[in-house]
Chains A and B, each alone.
Chain A
């Protein structure tokens, strides 16, 4: 894994938690057109393909949940547009932080607006923030109601 997931033991990828996130996304967001795990037997992420985008015509979330309850929701529209909601221990930032678009680089992180913790609620929040941003074209919607 990238970023400083490497600093402490965050647990391994949890296929059951990731499958639960996938089910929530499929049930809730009609623009999720297909989903699949990156690997069949030893998955590290589940891909959620979206039939709309913020800068582009389509996008994708790569979602990881670990056995210790940490998560990563990485959104990408290719090399030019990425952002990410993370929850894992980090120096000088809360566990829940947001890597800002367009690069979602390590140094772009700020505290995240997402305070809920369960798979369903985090997934719903991430998808709702994405939908609000797609509909308004306003990137500030990714950190509602106020960017911290």
Chain B
């Protein structure tokens, strides 16, 4: 039987176009990456990858950064935040958002108390490699981002309701 990795790669490449694969990889690329890294992951040649990446950046799906002569690409975080705000606004009740915000505020207060620092950035400075607590750095950052998103969902929802009432 073929290796499991070959099996899933074959299935993927047979059922998708090069552009679909590049889009999928770009949408999952969380840190700035070279064309060759993305091309390898998408199983597409570098010139084709570069062409489609530039189209996808035009469409707002990716963002770029210059590193000397090389252009680096990653997913457009801002677009994901906007989508998430809209998703929460339309699927969660006001009550759910309020309760979630309360819980996230409590989690952040607990991080501050546990490590006796003000922010996740301060915790990074505080920790030595191999120390316990590194997973809380990411957890803290995600909680802070999700808190801001939930607050924004309430604000945007209110703006929509007010605009609706004016008509």
Contacts and interface: CB of A to CB of B under 8 A. Distances in A.
Contacts, number: 120
Interface string B132-143: 111101111111
A106 interface: no
Interface of A: 1, 5-17, 20, 39-42, 44, 66-69, 113-121, 124-125, 128-129, 144-145
Interface of A is mostly: loop
B135 A10 contact: yes
A15 to B, nearest CB: 7
Interface in B3-59: 3-5, 7-9, 11-12, 24-25, 27-28, 30-31, 41
B61 interface: no
B107 interface: yes
Interface of B is mostly: helix
Contacts of A17: 28, 30
Contacts of B130: 7
Interface in B108-167: 124, 129-135, 137-143, 145-147, 149-150
Contacts of B72: none
B104 to A, nearest CB: 5
Given A11-B141, A114-B5, 4 more contacts: A10-B134, A12-B145, A41-B97, A118-B25
A7 B30 CA distance: 21
B38 to A, nearest CB: 11
Contacts of B135: 1, 5-6, 10
A132 B124 CA distance: 43
Nearest to B29: A69
A74 to B, nearest CB: 15
